[in-house]
Structure formats: structure tokens, C-alpha cells
Amino acid sequence: MRVLTGLLLLLLFPLFASAAEPWSTKLDSSVRFYQSTDVGVLVVGTEKSLYGLEAETGDVLWRRKEARLDETNVAAVPGTDVLLVTLESGSKTRLEALDIVTGDGLWRSDKVRGAVMQTAFEPSAGLLAAVFVRDAKSKPREGFKRKPELHVFDLAAGEELWKRELESEVEMMPVAWGDDKDKEVPYTLDNYRPPAFLDGRLYLFYEGLTSLDARTGKERRSEKFKVNEDGLALTESDPVADEGYVYVSGRGRVRAISRADGEVKWESKDLGLTPELVLAGGTLYARTGGQFTRLEDGETAARGPYGVSAIDPANGKTLWRYKGADKGLTNFAIPNAGTVAVADRDDLILLDAATGKRRLKVSHGVEAAAFLLLNERGELVLGGKNELAAFDGNSATPLWREKHEPPGRGLLRTVAAVAARAASLYFRYGGAASTVFRGARIAGALAGLRSSGLAAHVTLADLTSLASDYSRSYARQYAADRLSTYGALSRLRRGGASASVNVRPRVTTPSSDDVSERLLDRLDPASQLSRLSRFLLRTRRLAALQGRWMYFYSSLSGGGRGLVGVDVETGRASREVRLSDPDERFISDEAAGLLYVSKGDRLVAHRLSEGY
């Protein structure tokens, strides 16, 4: 049957490949938020309802009425077709797991309290870890604290296996700061690394490092240290792992923790803030210092000491340490086996990977340089809020430069928000968004299938964190055949071309009765099969996608203003989307070839095509 389904998808591919067209869908009230999902459904919240729209056509797949939700009440479980929705009423919360494609209820729980902030999914065991926070809404300010609660479920059955409340309150980050200091906004845990599954363990990073048995919650190891030092977000690195150890940073130290027994193998001290770790070519590289988002006001702050260190992962010995960088250190990149590249406020610096000695230093001329990446050609692309510049990875020779100034004064916050959104989307879709040269064996972060609100609403102001962390933690981490399906798509997979895929909720929940306008209910069986096959096909396209464009808010060549897409391979400004009043929450969907923005009570799709 799987072969038959695969053949069907291949036959339908030419139709789907050209299906994406610009569209505009009117909803029942003003759009409050919208999120993309890997299966090709846009989840949209309005003042009155929650919608599921097909990303390529704008068709309303389903609508849940009388559900005015905050964005933190909605979370797609990564690597699945499941949407988590929390419905809060006073001190009570109902958690519902919905089929993203149909909106129907899969299961529900009344045991959680608060909004869902972060998730992690372990496909082989079918375990879902979800972190909830109660009453996470206030005026934007520093020092807002709440006590998160972790729940672990069997995702298929909805059975809660165990829960754990953190020992203390942790500081949270607002979704936005803005100019209205009296307006209440939701708060998030975007300033912390999401939980991660590995070797039957679940790692937490809110109060330092905690390792728990994934099925029982029994604690194996706990080490308390201050997270978000100096009131800055993500001052500790996302952990990385190889076959034997997990490498973590915190409190100025890097540690190797045995995957077998949870014991600390070694500890490298006195490095300073270490927000980035990369294990490549048998060496653990650590960046110290850099640019961070201030929890107080959302602005970017630089903190040192600045440098790059190379550590022997076998024993923790520091092989070399480079301290010659100035303020505003970017993430680092490794363009070839013998070179480590980093940029500061003024210069692009190439280091000898074996000795740490500076080989080259060239003035880069990029204003407020924030991130460094490798494109498919192995070139170093240095970027800021309004500029990209490429350099040869061996000689640091300038190759091209593309700059797009914002269209007017008084738009600094808008420009910064658009830059953060554009960078996050590039690192999500850009197959070339890499830290290490092609062909190198790089140890992965404990990314697994994890999700933070950061993936949906990008609260970080500093592009450095997005470049060093987002591309590894929130990018496509699984091939199409690893998508775990629990709703209508699972019935299609099991039954092949002859499957009966009529919409039927698995369980009777209030949400099943509230869901209306189900598109699949109005289609004949053959059309249902075609529509569902399109969603599975999208995951295959996504797995093979090579996104190449970074967007800037600027004046357009033909007049007016909007988003300019720069090809990171060539430096050519080859895309334009005219937006007189930009929606800083825009989503670029490279798989569908569309860009989505909201305007009042409409969600609008613009075509992403070259030729400008």
C-alpha cells in the first residue's frame, strides 16, 4: 500500500508543484496571529475563532468558533500532524490535541494549567513533553516570573505519564515590547532552550541542567546555575551531543556529561558566557560573549569577554583561545577543515583551526554585523539588519555586497522586527544555513523534534542567536518518512489509495462539536484523497528544500516600499513583495512559493517569484 501511495504522490506532483497561487481569505474578524506548520496548514487566530487554512490555496479547512486565543495557547507538535490548544477559564485549563488537517479532537486533558510554551517530541517512543505556565500575561517589563510545569504524555493515547513542577519561578520574556507600556501581552519561555529527549532521558534547561527519566520523571542529575545571566536571553548554548557525551555550557563552564550514566566526564572552567557550541572535526568549538536580547526592553546588548575557544572533547583541555575580537561578536562558521571564521563590529577574522592563530583580518564594512553563515558555494555571508556581504572562505576576499536601507525614519522597531522575522525564516527553510563546511561530520544539537514559541513569533532582537541556534534547533530535523501522523493523514498512510479518509473525530470532545466548515466533509472520496496526498507531498518538498533568500524592508525599484529578497548565493535582489504597511509577522513559505501577511480580517498570500 505504501508503494501505491508513493506512486500516487508522484503522479500528482506536477499538479501540486504549480498549485500555489496568490490568494486572499476573509475571516470572521481581525487576525491576531498566524503560524505555519510543516504539513502545509496555516493556523490562524482571530478575535472570534481559530482557523486552519490550506497554505497553498487559502481554503478554510476548518474553523473553531468562539475561541479567542492568544498565540501562546496554540502549538503545533513538531514532526507530527497534531496541534495543541489550551483553553483557559479562570483557574481551569483544558488541553486539546487536534488533527491539524481537520481540526477534530484526538484527545483532551483537564490536568494541565496555563498556556503551552514549549514542546519536545520523541518519535520512536511517541512521547510528548509539554511545558505550561499559568497567568503568563502582563505589561512588558523586566522581572516577570512564573513557575513552569512539565507534563509528559503518550501522544497517541493522550495518557499523562507524569508531571513535574519546577522548584522555583523563572523570569519570562514578553512576546513584544512596543510603545504602549500599559498594554498587557503574553509572556513566553523563548529565553530558555526547549526540553530535549535523548537516550530515554529528558533534559530541562530552565534552572540550570536537569536530567529525568523520560517515562517516569525520576531525576538522574540536577545542577543549578543562573540562566539568562545579566538579564539577557539565551546566554547558554544549546547542548550538542556525540556518541558518548552531551556537551553543555553554563555559569562560565563547558561540561561533558556521559550519555550512559549521566555523570560529568570533565568540566572546562572560566570561559565566560558561552552561547554557542559546535562539535566538528574532532574538536569542540565554543564562542564566548556576543550579542543578546535584553529582557528589560527587547533591545540588543553586547557582553564579553569576546572570543572563540577550541576544546578537546576527550578530556576538556582548552587547545587554544582567541581573544582578539571587539564588541558585538557574531556567531562563528567553519568554512573548511582548517579555518574558523568570526566577525566583530569592524572586522571579519579567519583563525587557524589547529592553533587559533589569526590568519587574516579584513574590514567588512557591514553596519551592525550580526550573523555569519555559509552558502552552498562555501562562501562566508555576513549580515546585519539592512545588508549582506559575501567573502571567500579561504582568503576573505570580498565577493559581493547588497544593501537595502529602510524607507524612512521612525521605523527602527519595525525594521528590527522585520529583520528578525526574515532571519528566522531563512534559517528555517535555508538548507544552506550551515555553520560547518559541506561534507564535515558535525555533531547535532539536542534538537530532536523540539518547539518553542520562538519558532512562531520570534521575540529575539539579536540576529546572532537566531543564526547560531535557530538553524539547528528549529529547522527541518526529519525526513518526510519520519513524519508521525495521528489524524486523517495516518488513515491515508495505512490504507493507501483505497483508504477511507472521511473525517471522523477519534474522540468526542467539545472541540469536535465546535469545529465547523470542515472542507473535507464537502469533498467526494477521490477529492479527499487528492487533498490529503498534497499535505504528505509537502513534507517531501520541505525535506529537500534549499531556501536561498533573505528579506529586507526597503524602498522598491519601481516605487513604493515592501520586502526585497536577496539571494544569499549570488547577492542579487531577485524578489520583491510590495507592502506599503508591512506586517512584521509575515511568513515566507519557500515550500509553497508564497509569502503570507495579515491585513485586518484577511490573510493574504503573495507569490514569491524571481525576475525583478
Compute the average pLDDT of residues 342-363. Answer: 93
Higher-confidence position of 433 and 355 = 355
> Which of these, 372, 332, 382, 407, lies nearest to 564 by C-alpha position?
407
Whether 170 and 207 have beta carbons less than 8 Å apart is answered as: yes
Q: What is the mean pLDDT of residues 292-305?
A: 83
What percent of the chain has pLDDT above 70?
A: 77
CA distance 142 to 228: 12
Confidence (pLDDT) at 441 = 45
Spatial contact of 388 and 382, defined as CB atoms under 8 Å apart? yes
- Least confident range from 10-19, 83-92, 205-214, 440-449: namely 10-19
Least confident range from 118-127, 511-520, 541-550: namely 511-520
Cis peptide before 305 (omega within 30 of 0): yes
Q: What is the pLDDT of residue 4?
A: 41
pLDDT band at 494 (very low <50, low <70, confident <90, very high): low
Indicate the pLDDT class of residue 496, thresholds 50, 70 and 90.
Answer: low
**More confident of the two residues 536 and 216:** 216
Class of domain 29-189+193-226+497-541: mainly beta
Distance from chain centroid for Cα 467: 11
- Residue 17's pLDDT is 40
Residues of the chain with CATH 2.40.128.630: 29-189+193-226+497-541, 230-477
Mean pLDDT of the chain: 80
Residue 390: the pLDDT is: 95
| pLDDT higher than threshold 50 for residue 538 | yes
Phi, psi values for residue 73, rounded to 5°: -90, 0
pLDDT band at 193 (very low <50, low <70, confident <90, very high): confident
Residue 279 has pLDDT above 80, yes or no: yes
**Does residue 94 register a pLDDT over 80?**
yes
**CA–CA gap between residue 525 and residue 122 (Å, rounded):** 33
What's the pLDDT at 455?
Answer: 57
List, for residues 118-147, the tens digit of each pLDDT value.
Answer: 999 988 899 999 999 998 888 888 789 999
Q: Are 435 and 332 in contact (CB under 8 A)?
A: yes
Helix (H) or strand (E) holding 429, with range, is helix 412-429
pLDDT of 475 over the 70 cut: no
Per-residue confidence at 422, pLDDT binned at 50, 70, 90?
confident
Topology (CATH) of 230-477:
Lipocalin (2.40.128)
Query: Which of 83-97, 149-163, 575-589, 591-605 tops mean pLDDT?
Result: 149-163
Q: Classify residue 544 as exposed, middle or buried by CB count within 10 Å of its CB (0-12, 13-18, 19+).
A: exposed
Residues in the chain, total: 612
What tens digit of pLDDT does each residue of 242-269 get? Answer: 888 889 888 888 989 888 887 889 998 8
For residues 372 and 385, the answer to whether their CB atoms sit within 8 Å is no
CA-closest candidate to residue 58, choices 31, 79, 89, 85 = 31
Residue 512 has pLDDT above 80, yes or no: no
> Which range is least confidently modeled, 246-255, 257-266, 363-372, 438-447?
438-447
pLDDT at 459: 60
